[in-house]
A and B are shown apart, each in its own frame.
Chain A
């Protein structure tokens, strides 16, 4: 077997050194009733060619996003990733290293994390960012639980514009810890409605901008209202490219910003792995979940980086830790950092403007096809009202080779918004794609 270096002679020689008669002797502690006498009922080993063929056949059964006109967003985004990014993350030293627990021989990973944290802090307009979470949705849940630790209150208010899967994830995880989660009804321009719900028991309010319907909101007033009652404002962003153009969460008064970082450097991957961004104001640092990388010096006074403030973490604090998270999204964070370094602030802003312009082109085309666009202010996503079921329309347009976005009912079948379709355009969307969509919508 190509992944196993030991030869039969090696095994015999090693058993002799150990003083064991055979390999079974090393499994002597396993109860006899639980020892399998032979291989389980699965296929036997296969060569690289065979395995590659099987996987290529499975891959060919699906239609990639790049195969034709494609308008899905709603939490995951099709962007172009420069070839440099994928090359560097496949370098052995990044791909096949562990969490940097031995900093003397992990400065590569650690310096990348320090750069990542600095980039995320700048993008979100906050002071400090951690070294990544699993994805945006789990980062959102962790932020809500952090608000409980900070405020010692147990109620969280989730805006009706929050991605339903983020709300469900937060509800599942934070509710288990005993929090009261108030989910507001889904509505296109839902953000202002949270203000009336904030009271003296509120630990945090969670608002998303651009929200799941694509609406861009200045949340400054929500921040003021939350702070007036001693609550924290958590701002969620699922489209990280929007940081290039829109006011940052920190600038608008957010205490915690969480985001899905997939858009920068990472492929769609059918939902994972992605990279959760998590940033806070300086005074909240010791309540943060996850790993933090910090600057220090070595024994010779040379600058270096280490994992730090780990007394928050599970391997030190066990049941008193701020979170149970251990493994995070290191390699996805590296991809994010390399892509962000290639872009720079200038490039990200330009990319964001292109995305926005494509969405304006999309909006005009959809309106030209006679559909009502519901999103008043948008970045690169719009919500559209269709005649009848949005899910059926998507099925119909698929027959014309067009993937016409995400029916809202796919995210939340109980909201009574079956006629709402979520559409997204990015720099990868061509004018031909948009024209094809408009023509098919007219014909539908």
Chain B
């Protein structure tokens, strides 16, 4: 069928101005307000067809009286969640330059592979004879991670970066205890570190001391050496660091740390900048987590799941947590207990073998890139960040103008001084231009920080579009177009939200109106 055009205007003549326009129902075209399921659903409705079942006569006194949760039919469910999805920014829509987060393209081959029955429909406690393919994949993944990092061992089970940090520090703690060094209970962390570093140290009962930073954004070696004492268990250093810079003195950092009897934990959140070009094992690192959801492109899923395998030096390897894969006479098997050869294993990080679904995706990604492609990943990630830095340095102020950056370009807010526009305002205005804001106000050592990580999966065209938008915004800020920024975002599904109200009167679940009255 073709559309009947006779008598129907085909040009938008007389459409007029849209500002100030309001629809009759409050609707906004494709951006409809969508109620909560608790306001939509039927309290006895269901979107699944199940056969009848007998009443549980043998559970007298143990059953619940009611379960007040609404259901929706299948078409209503689909529409509800698809409508909600349209209120999200996503890497598949545009650049998502969150520094420290490595928001890169997520290949769909990886999704397809993770859903293969031999991975997805595999029970964690099924007989090992029936799970050889999964164990083989874990073994291959471990080989790739060890080879890329130049480290002799890897603990695959940690479920995210912070869980990996915990795993690494528990290995370090166990190693010190085994060596009669249990009195070492201080962890040194640079001021610029991710919040998870000090939080993890506190989680294992360590106290945290900060290491100063030099003018050029690196660890202050003299301050580090002064603080390294007989009480220090470990240092936790991110490399490349959170300022987007490579720690030039990293080998010396490792040397003096070891000379003082402490271990070097490296936060591997920024491994994407050096994968295939630098092996952390060659730098003297003792433990490093690898965020598979960053460097190896498993999707971030709106907050998780991630996976945080930890590579370990020979000194720490005996303390790695169960379970892990070993080659046995009848094929691959799992070491599940701290006994025999594994007697020094410090315990268990979670119930099962780790994030298998993420292992499959990460392995598919590594195999696709290969050793050569992964090296190109690091090079293009660093090239893209330096390109952004070069294109914006005359209108914004780079925090560390001298020398190249790694995979992130860091700016401070000096250039906004006197404009009345803050880093937050600038970030929100980026939303109106179609981009996700960069990481802001982190690292803490840079005033009004704007940390831009483009990743290697952006084209030059998209980078130019991004830089052009930021240049235009910078010009607007300097010309005094303050309302553009203070009111931003103007074009998002919602405008700025009242976070103070949310925290002061927390409403964390839906309740019928009457209960709030």
Contact = CB atoms under 8 A, between A and B. Distances in A.
A12 to B, nearest CB: 10
Given A97-B300, A308-B499, A342 B48 contact: yes
Q: How large is the interface on B (under 10, 10 to 19, 20 to 34, 35 or more residues)?
A: 35 or more
B311 interface: no
Given A102-B436, A244-B67, A304-B497, A272 B368 contact: no
7 contacts: A1-B368, A18-B387, A47-B368, A131-B303, A270-B356, A315-B196, A345-B69
Interface stretch (A188-196, A222-230, A321-329, A365-373): A321-329
B496 A46 contact: no
A26 B383 contact: yes
B109 A48 contact: yes
Nearest to A351: B50
A428 to B, nearest CB: 10
B205 to A, nearest CB: 5
Given A14-B387, A121-B509, A269 B368 contact: no
Contacts of A90: 111
Interface string A81-110: 010101111111111111111111111110
B451 interface: no
Contacts of B91: 92, 96-97
B468 interface: no
Interface string B455-495: 01111101000000000000000000000000101001111
Interface residues of A, number: 207
A403 B126 contact: yes
B59 A246 contact: yes
Contacts of A89: 301
Contacts of A268: 120-124
A353 B152 CA distance: 50
B2 interface: no
A96 B350 contact: no
A55 B195 contact: no
Interface in A19-73: 19-20, 23, 25-31, 33-36, 38-48, 50-52, 54-67, 70, 72
Interface stretch (A167-175, A197-205, A381-389, A432-440): A167-175
A306 B494 CA distance: 11
B163 to A, nearest CB: 6
User: Among the interface residues B64, B306, B442, which one has the most CB atoms of the partner chain A within 10 A?
Assistant: B64
B90 to A, nearest CB: 4
A108 B87 contact: yes
A63 B51 contact: no
B357 A316 contact: no
Contacts of A163: 351
A64 B291 CA distance: 28
Contact of A216 (B41, B59, B84): B59
A335 to B, nearest CB: 10
User: Among the interface residues B86, B98, B352, which one has the most CB atoms of the partner chain A within 10 A?
Assistant: B352
B103 interface: yes
Contact of B382 (A1, A27, A36): A27
Nearest 10 A-B pairs (CB), nearest first? A344-B71, A271-B352, A331-B301, A59-B118, A172-B347, A330-B303, A61-B133, A271-B124, A273-B305, A347-B46
B276 to A, nearest CB: 6
A151 interface: no
Contacts of B262: none
A256 interface: no
Given A34-B279, A62-B130, A75-B351, A319 B202 contact: yes
Contacts of B306: 327
Contact of A23 (B245, B379, B389, B406): B379
Given A39-B276, A96-B92, A134-B163, A4 B376 contact: yes
A246 to B, nearest CB: 6
A442 interface: no
Contacts of B165: 324
Contacts of B148: 40, 42
Contacts of A108: 84-88, 302
A211 interface: no
B246 A40 contact: no
B497 A297 contact: yes
Contacts of A51: 109, 113, 364, 367-368
A318 B96 CA distance: 25
Contact of B36 (A115, A297, A360): A115
Contacts of A330: 300-305
B124 A327 contact: no
A165 interface: yes
A98 B372 contact: no
B258 interface: no
Contacts of B131: 62-63, 270
Given A94-B301, A104-B496, A107-B87, A292 B64 contact: no
B463 to A, nearest CB: 8
Contacts of A50: 367
Given A31-B251, A105-B87, A341-B47, A122 B68 contact: yes
Given A52-B109, A285-B508, A294-B503, A100 B93 contact: no
B106 A4 contact: no
A93 B85 contact: yes
Nearest to A412: B337
Contacts of A444: none
B7 to A, nearest CB: 39
A64 B123 CA distance: 8
Interface string A124-147: 010111011011111000000100
B199 to A, nearest CB: 4
Contact of A40 (B92, B134, B371): B371
A76 B125 contact: yes
Nearest to A269: B357
Given A26-B386, A267-B357, A326-B162, 5 more contacts: A62-B119, A320-B202, A327-B305, A340-B69, A403-B130
A131 B192 CA distance: 27
